[in-house]
Amino acid sequence: MSKKKTFASAAFLLILTILALLIPFLINNVDACGRRHHPHKPRHPPLGKTLIKHFVYPDGSGIGPCLEVTLWNDEQLYTAHTDETGTITFAGIPDGTYTLSWSWQGVEMRESVELRCTQLVWEFTNELPYWTVVKTFYYNTEPPVPISHLKVTMNGYSGETDVTGTVVFSNVKAGSYTIEWIWGGETQTEGLEIGFATPTPVELTNYLPPKSWWRQ
């Protein structure tokens, strides 16, 4: 046998020996110490971020449902409404800088938020202002004369008109209200609905007949 044939045979035997050693590891995922390893699973791309926004009054209570909020940038647009707690959630948002916009008291409000890969859930809280209700009473005369010292209530709020005939209710939340006062020996009422887009202050005026008319 020539030297070339001997070398070729030796190389072939070496390759077979190497394959015989590698096959068990390739088939069974067993390392050099005989430990079995599970194959690596492919990594899925990271999920989008979740943006949670709480809208509250200055006392910390939620504003309630139905405030429409828009999250947008140059490429994507999402619109949703707050729930009963005044919270809104946007899920599956890619990293990036966004603008949140909503209308409050008739004013368009905007806020910029940046979502980065440092966390999956981003949570923010916005404090929104109360309303102020200004109610003024005049005698139905010419010229009108302010009615002072008139006691007025509004769903738990109470006050008395000053020398200008005005009573002011502060720290009012959105909702339905009934304003009450007594005139001519009878309870008078007026309904008031304050929505998120209602401008503040809410100014109301009433003209009441003079007391001399009661005896006619």
Domain stops at, among 98, 127, 156: 127
The tens digit of pLDDT for each residue in 146-200 reads: 999 999 999 999 999 999 999 999 999 999 999 999 999 999 999 999 999 999 9
| CA–CA–CA angle 44, 90, 121 (5° rounding) | 60
pTM above 0.85, yes or no: no
Considering the domain boundaries, does residue 215 fall inside one?
A: no
Q: Does residue 117 sit in the same domain as residue 165?
A: no
Structural domain range at position 14: 1-31
**39 band by pLDDT with thresholds 50, 70 and 90:** low
CB distance 49 to 115 below 8 Å? yes
Contact 169, 156 (CB under 8 A): no
- pLDDT at site 35: 43
Express each pLDDT in 49-99 by its tens digit: 999 999 999 999 999 999 999 999 877 789 999 999 999 999 999 999 999
Quick one: how far is CA 80 from the chain centroid?
A: 9
Residue 214 lies in a domain: no
Residue type at 65 in one-letter notation: P
Residues in the chain: 216
Supply the DSSP symbol for 142: S
- Residues 6+ positions from 115 with CB-CB distance below 8 Å: 49, 51, 93, 94, 95, 96, 97, 98, 122
Answer yes or no: is 141 within a domain.
yes
Residue 117: half-sphere exposure toward Cβ, Cα within 13 Å: 2
Q: How far apart are CA 88 and CA 189, in angstroms?
A: 36
Domain end, chosen from 127, 145, 175, is at 127
Whether 123 and 137 map to the same domain: the answer is no
Domain boundary among 88, 103, 127: 127
Number of domains composing the chain? 3
Asked if residue 170 belongs to a domain, the reply is yes
Reported as half-sphere exposure (CB side, CA atoms, 13 A), residue 115 has a value of 25
pLDDT for 215 equals: 45
What are the residues whose beta carbons fall under 8 Å from the beta carbon of 191, sequence distance 6 or more? 176, 177, 178, 179
In a domain, 44, yes or no: no
Please give the angle made by the CA atoms of 56, 57 and 62, to the nearest 5 degrees.
40
